[in-house]
Chain A
Amino acid sequence: MTTETRLTIPGTAFDVHEALRGLTEGALSALAEAERTTAQIVLAEVLNNIVEHAYAGQGGRIDLTLSTGADGLRCVVTDCGVPMPSGRLPKGRSPRPGDLPQGGFGWFLIRSLARDLRYSREDGRNELSFRLPS
């Protein structure tokens, strides 16, 4: 059985914080703990990247669709911010712990946990889709 959740989130750090809290208590609460943990981490990184980079702190609309199925949680996230640099997803290399990095973990975490990552830019919209395996 597939269940679908659609959500529109204003592109600010506070709204993303509230939306993730709501999802954790709502749509994600039916998932097993490991799956819910993964979903929280990946969605936080994806949504906060949009707030910080695509919308560069200016705000905007983020649309999120989550579908649960036999192969995990499928996620589609769209925004109308600036495109990814060079039209491609960042490589997400792992920062070196010994350097005591204070950033650069976001895409590394996304790439570590998400499968079937796809990015497209059409009609001024970014669309990122991925699957979080069950």
Chain B
Amino acid sequence: MDLSAEVRDGALIVRVLEDRIDAASAIGFKDRMREVIADPSPVVVLDLSRVSFLDSSGLGAVVAVMKLVAPRRLELAALSPTVAKVFRLTRMDSVFTIHADSP
């Protein structure tokens, strides 16, 4: 799973550079995130602007990453319509701060 990371204004911004987080890529995503979040920034913003699709395995992986980041905060940004729909239907949009635009 290809990710890029940069620290900006005290937040770690992680951009997912692939178009799907699904059953085939969820474990790779979680493993890469585990490495990237070793940076001590108090807030991690996950930029999903390039992700056009996320399934229930991908959603589970994002929740797992939220737990890895805790007690620091994981926030999400730039959800595509399909990704937003999965979060809305499962009501998992209620547990994340979601920014409309890429940081």
Instruction: List residues of chain A with CB under 8 Å of any chain B CB.
Output: 13-14, 16-17, 20-21, 24, 33, 37-38, 40-41, 44-45, 48, 51-52, 94-95, 97-98, 100-103, 105-106, 108-109, 112-113
B20 to chain A minimum Cβ distance, whole angstroms, is 7
Residues on the A chain within 8 Å of B53, using CB: 20, 24, 40, 44
Q: How large is the interface on B (under 10, 10 to 19, 20 to 34, 35 or more residues)?
A: 20 to 34
Q: Out of A17, A37, A40, A41, which one reaches B23, CB within 8 Å? A: A17
Residues on the A chain within 8 Å of B56, using CB: 44-45, 48, 103, 105-106, 109
Distance, CA A94 to CA B67, complexed state (A): 20
| Chain A interface mostly | helix
Contact with A along B47-83 (1 / 0, CB 8 A): 0000001011101110110110000000000000110
Instruction: Assess whether B4 is interfacial by the CB under 8 Å rule.
Output: no
Q: Out of B23, B82, B94, which one reaches A16, CB within 8 Å? A: B23
Distance, CA A65 to CA B84, complexed state (A): 27
12 contacts between A and B (CB under 8 A): A16-B23, A20-B22, A33-B81, A37-B81, A40-B53, A44-B23, A95-B90, A103-B57, A105-B59, A105-B86, A109-B86, A109-B89
Q: Which residue of A lies closest to B20 (CB)?
A: A17
Q: Which residue of A lies closest to B61 (CB)?
A: A102
Q: Out of B60, B89, B95, which one reaches A112, CB within 8 Å? A: B89
Distance, CA A102 to CA B81, complexed state (A): 21
